Chain A
Amino acid sequence: MTKFCFVIHPLSFEDVVRYEPGAKGKGRPIVAKILEWMPPYAAAHLTGIRTPDGRETEGWFVAAPLLPQQMLELPREQVYERIVGAIRVGAELGAQVAGLGAFTGVVGDGGVTVAQRAPIPVTTGNSLTIAAGVRSLFRGADEMGIDAASSTAVVVGATGSIGAACVELIAPRVAHMILVARNETRLRKFHESVRERLPCASSHTTAIGEAVQRADLVLTATSSTQDVIEPGDLRTGAVVCELSLPHDVSRRVATERPDVLVVEGGNMRVPGDWRAERVREPGTDFDLNLPAGTALACMSETMVLALENRCESYTLGRGIDLDRVREIDALAERDGFALADMRAFDTAITREHLARTRAAAEQRRAVSA
């Protein structure tokens, strides 16, 4: 059996408290200080991942316990050391391939340096994240009754590695594509480089709000630690797929825009009867803040590589190979991974929720017509 490990870290102070309730009520700066010093460790043991044809894998969540801000601001070498240290912990436990979660795949050069220093192959998991994100976006479009072929889609964070790949995968299925990013020069250059290839009309802009107002479908993939999409930005009945952690869409959208469908794009149902058990308290489940049986797509990519015995640095760096996205998507499907039930703002999207959203969109359209 080929085993894997996946590097995790807290995305917020609340994450730290969920894992370690003793941190509650302590001064945040003190907790941050402790994290700054904390060595990597194995946080959870993952078992029961089984394909329909009976292949199995197991693995570990290994923690490089730094907060997003620390990942971005501490000296680069110190952060690399922590991430590589976490992978070493996993390798000592028997992992043969490692995945990089959240900011550990963003720091520096998107995993390239980490992979050079790690004892086993490393993947960012971005290929399957992209495949799952695009699938989620179009599933949302179906649910909202949007005719994708005549729609306008926006990718926010289009010049990022995930965003850029999403642009190419979405374009063949829509009528118009708007590319959005913060850096005008990079955005223009990127658009020039892909414009010819895109089988639909396309444009670009740095004005997020303006672009989003024109879109039926929105995919966001920025590394921003703040909200980038506000309730007022969205078109009636729009579908927004979030691929980034921390989230890009303001939580206010949940209450102020009942007519808009927001979905977290990167969640997958893992085949088998898998669980994540805390290493320090055996018998206790590790709370991933996701429904049972589901994992993030980037984690799933690492699991698929282990199940397929493909111990290679599958996805690394800024450029994404679309053939690899398609390949891992197919492998995941074969291994029994599927899009998880729709979810947004940490809660499940029920059939009733969908019906209400469609009705609210109809009503709003009727009012403005």
Chain B
Amino acid sequence: MKRVVSVSLGSSSRDHRAEVDLLGERFEIARIGVDGSIDRAIAKIKELDGTVDAIGLGGIDVYLYAGSDRYALRDGLRLLAAATATPVVDGSGLKNTLEREAIAFLQDELKIDLRGKRVLMVSALDRFGMAQALVQAGADVIFGDFIFALDLDRPVRGLDEFESMARKYLPDACKLPFQFFYPTGKKQDRAPQAKYPEYYDDAEIIAGDYHFMRQFMPERLDGKTVITNTLTERDIEFLRARGIARLVTTTPDFGGRSFGTNVVEAALVALLGKAWADVTEDDYRDLLARLALRPRVIALRQAQGDGVTV
């Protein structure tokens, strides 16, 4: 049996444990929340180092991508450095493949025409693959990173503009504590406070990190589609109550919930038995194909438009 643990900066109230079979291998998968404390996360990783097969980092990214540029978060690097024997991953490698494929799945399998669809990508830096795939599919994407993380009311609408904004702000922003930008710990349990609701109102599809989108969500989001991952049953009910019509989670269901990308990536790295840095995109793609992982689609209300029911 292989053991994979996700150490998450998120709330410990979301902790979870499951056993699954992946390509004939038995996995025990656990999530341990440290309620926003980087120090506790480091201690936990040190404790797990050498005793488990892979560690996923939840609630924080190590690397952010914009085009071919990669930016490393200072806090993320501290977490990576905490383990020496066990591979530690943040999900960014897998996001680049899995989430691109999720967009292809929407178009090819669900026959959702993304051309001209208004998409609010609440944060694209942590899911650049998805953002790129949406743009390539012809969607009208607003990149919300600078609006929501930096309070800079400047909607970015193209990949080029996004990359140049990233070059301007990321080198400094990456040095700041991660909590400045992303809700960690208790903040994940707090009621949302609407911010720039016009961007939510205008979008037909809202995509990106769940906690990030949730913290600024307006009261009503009737008929909209959400593309995200890592949702508990409570989260799904929350989205239903706000009027969301359809939910697409890019990571598959393991034991009754969709785990974070970091967990799935950790499991794949454990299967491969390689160091994280040596894993290639093709490795991921190959494994994803063999696992036949598919996004999970949940119709919460009668969808308007495409009339997709699952």
- Tell me the nearest residue of chain A to B146, going by C-beta: A29
Residues on the A chain within 8 Å of B150, using CB: 27, 29-30, 32-33
Against B, the Cβ 8 Å flags (1 = close, 0 = not) of A299-332 are: 0000000000000000000000000000000000
- Which B153-185 residues have C-beta < 8 A from chain A? 168-169, 172-173, 176-177, 179-181
In the bound complex, how far is the Cα of B172 from the Cα of A26, in angstroms?
7
With both chains docked as a complex, state the minimum distance between the C-beta of A133 and any C-beta of chain B, in angstroms: 34
- Which residues of the other chain, A, contact B152 by a CB distance below 8 angstroms? 29
The answer, yes or no, to whether B13 is at the interface (CB within 8 Å) is no
- How far is the CB of A67 from the nearest CB of chain B, in Å? 11
A29, B181: Cα distance in complex, Å? 12
A34 CB-CB contact with B under 8 Å: yes
Within 107-126 of A, Cβ neighbours of B (below 8 Å) are at none
Give the residues from 1 to 47 in chain A that come closer than 8 angstroms, CB to CB, to chain B. 26-27, 29-30, 32-34, 36-37
In the bound complex, CA of A33 to CA of B147 (Å) = 12
Report if B47 contacts A (CB, 8 A).
no
Residues of B contacting A: mostly: helix
Instruction: Contact check, A34 vs B169: say whether CB atoms are below 8 A apart.
Output: no
Tally of contacts, chain A with chain B, CB under 8 A: 32
In the complex, B189 has a CB within 8 A of chain A:
no
Q: Whole-angstrom distance between the alpha carbons of A75 and B215 in the complex? A: 14
Inter-chain contacts of B172 with A (CB < 8 A):
26-27, 30
Chain A residues within 8 Å of chain B by Cβ, number: 10
Q: B residues within 8 A CB of A32?
A: 150-151
A33 contact from B168, B180, B193, Cβ within 8 A: B180
In angstroms, how far is the closest chain B Cβ from the Cβ of A141? Answer: 44
Contact A75 B173 (CB under 8 A): no
Given A29-B151, A29-B169, A30-B169, A75 contacting B180 (CB threshold 8 A):
no
Interface size on B, residues (CB 8 A): 15
* Closest A residue to B175 using CB positions: A30
Among residues 176 to 211 in chain A, which have CB atoms less than 8 Å away from a CB atom of chain B? none
B-contact bits for A32-70, CB 8 A (1 contact / 0 none): 111011000000000000000000000000000000000
CB-contacts of A142-180 with B (<8 A): none
**Given that A34-B176, A37-B180, A75-B193 are contacting pairs, would A27 and B151 also be in contact in the complex, using a CB cutoff of 8 Å?**
no
Encoded as 1 (CB less than 8 Å from any B CB) or 0, chain A from 85 to 107 comes to: 00000000000000000000000
B215 nearest CB across to chain A (Å): 13
> Least Cβ distance of A157 to chain B in Å?
28
- Chain A residues whose C-beta falls within 8 Å of the C-beta of B168 in the assembled complex: 27
Rounded to whole Å, the gap between the CB of B125 and the closest CB of chain A is 14
Q: Which residues of B contact A26 (CB under 8 A)?
A: 172
Interface pair B173/A30, CB less than 8 Å apart? yes
Q: How far is the CA of A30 from the CA of B146 in the complex (A)?
A: 10
Min Cβ gap B73→A in Å is 14
Task: From A33, A34, A75, name the one whose CB has the most chain B CB atoms within 10 angstroms.
Answer: A33
A34 touches B146 (CB 8 A): no
26 A-B residue pairings within 8 Å (CB atoms): A27-B168, A27-B169, A27-B173, A29-B146, A29-B150, A29-B151, A29-B169, A30-B150, A30-B169, A30-B172, A30-B173, A30-B176, A32-B151, A33-B149, A33-B150, A33-B173, A33-B176, A33-B180, A33-B181, A34-B176, A34-B180, A36-B180, A37-B177, A37-B179, A37-B180, A75-B193
Question: Closest 5 interchain pairs by CB?
Answer: A29-B150, A29-B152, A27-B169, A30-B172, A33-B180
Interface residue ranges, B against A (CB under 8 Å): 146, 149-152, 168-169, 172-173, 176-177, 179-181, 193
Given A29-B169, A37-B177, 8 other A-B residues pairs in contact with their CB atoms under 8 A:
A27-B168, A27-B169, A29-B151, A33-B150, A33-B151, A33-B180, A33-B181, A75-B193
